Amino acid sequence: MNIQKTKVNFKDARGEIRDLITKTAVDAVTLITCNKGSVRGNHYHKKTVQYDYVISGKFACYTKLMPGGKTTRRILKAGDVAFHPAMEAHAFKALEDTVFISLTKGPRNGADYEKDTIRLEKPLTN
């Protein structure tokens, strides 16, 4: 997992403009809400890459390269963008009510969501 702080590209009296990702094609943009204490993910994608941008809130992000990698834990908060390559298991535990956008490139989208989503037998977090 690679985490980047977004930077302000332009600012004036009206507000700010921030590029979340650049020069990257995506197949799906998904809005996800999480209630404090809830867990999402605990899966990986064989072919899909995923970017997660935190709009508000904060969560613990657990990742592990499959198969057999070491589990890591990082805190993501508003303004952070996390990149998950294919074959990286990921799980999110909301430390407070959280809203984020998931941008994906690959077969994991729409009606084909489950075709490239492999559920973990042993969760990264509960």
Question: What's residue 114's pLDDT?
Answer: 87
- CATH number for region 2-12+21-119: 2.60.120.10
Specify the DSSP element, H or E, that contains 68: none
Find out whether 67 and 82 touch, Cβ atoms under 8 Å: no
The answer, yes or no, to whether residue 5 has pLDDT greater than 90, is: no
What's the rounded mean pLDDT across residues 4-28? 90
Type of residue numbered 61: C
How remote is the C-alpha of 39 from its chain's centroid?
Answer: 13
Which residue(s) pair with 45 in the sheet?
Answer: none
pLDDT of res. 66: 97
For the chain, the domains span: 2-12+21-119
> How far, in Å, CA of 113 to CA of 87, rounded?
15
